Structure 1
């Protein structure tokens, strides 16, 4: 992208970012100031558990959008921003940015001719993610319209639940396992794909049943040719379950944190370097998990064991003789004589107050 286009894109992105929160439904959290990825996870987890507690037969459908950024229809995008009230000058600038996009292929080190794009959004462009979620928000509107018109059965009779959760192109949808609802959902997805270019790959999508009998699942499988999976599962990198996670189910996430250790070069790092690694890599992964999941005490102890071992030995474990200072003192602030490493129990307690 040339310098003038970069300048225009940056100006448009900065101005749009301040208004995006008012344009996009609360079901979408990606690229919007004041919204967090954990909000989507907690929304899906609370809805799943509530349906399970109410003994309500329902389905959780995880959609797979094919080549999301590369397949957005330009005419549809322009029509969407026109309906949202974007001025003509905005639409002209966005059309100009889209029309000037091209690709060149390096062959034996030499760039080939320019290949003009006819659809899709620029990769690495600060404006592209915002335009993409404006397009995806149309799908939320279509589902809401169908439910408000009585075409889709309500998930719960006692309270209104969020049917859709979106984080960019990561879409989760709740529906009732009836022939009418499934047919309508598939029709909406097909219609949205035809007009926007964002098609759902049914074969790569997953269905997670909630309180569904075997007979119902057989009917669902004939109507939706996608894989039927079971809880617990992963959503946005976090463990999603209808019950409290067992030790066996939670252990892979502790192992994932341990796998982030650069064991092959730990011996080359100074203790100060290992301290930075502990605080900014191992602790940050724990924070992401703790913002949405209640980590059990044994899990915190296991993560602390990994952090302590890497700090003192550069390994996953360190026995008492290798630990030069008590871990409680290590977790004190620098001005109080510690190393400024976060205390996980206190950190998780603070995050739960959020």
Structure 2
């Protein structure tokens, strides 16, 4: 039968794994700053409490201007690729790691007296006693940083957000970290992908109120609305920066019923030389075939209007301050609007 002491020790170890390592700094020293890295108040426990995560310091601008909101988010056309859910970035100076560990001292939880000292001892083993760091690397103050995990705020609920599960580790100034998930120009470019503000895919249609069986409905998009958009992501103090650009290339039409004919037959309307998609309807073109549009072969009934979905595909590329760059998977963004179709064989427009 286990003793009370052994049971208490197992509980303490479980708490060590379950509590955020930075819980006390968050409560007791929120917003304080002891060096040139992250605010201690920004540090918090990882998803499973086994690691420190910090609020990312990556900043973004849209077409050169700061932004706080966007209309829509792109979905990757490649089902096997998504922007990164987490990465490692410079976060703590030696003094900040020291303060984080010391903040545990004297912190107790009901029924678990001494848990603060117990966790502090465990952290001292890593950051003070030479396993693998000695005296919090205070002798290297200003010569590097402890890097910590940061979670993409757009993907904090993704399972992949748990991938950055290493405790803070030291990186010398000017040395690239030996860590595949460390922040880099490509990571910044992929994060910027998540921040691209794309406009709602609200198509222009003629007729605007109701379509007619066997008569084409013209569809087009305004060139002024669908133009290139760029987001630049940078990490202050590192010189790392990347710009990701989205350029609209086509519009895909899904009529919402199999009883329809799209124009072109593929339903894929290419972008025109002037940046527009399709062609606005003009009087006298009622019987012509539109370059982009749809003809419904039956009227809507008691089951309601047809859900016509229009999806724009955006070509994505990136460049960076160090000369790296390339393409990222195409992005898509679409909206659905209801179309009512009537049983009239002829109509004046």
Point out the structure with the larger helix share.
Answer: 1
Q: Which has the higher strand share?
A: 2
TM-score range normalised by the length of the shorter chain? under 0.3
Higher Rg:
2
What TM-score do you get using the length of structure 2 for normalisation? 0.25
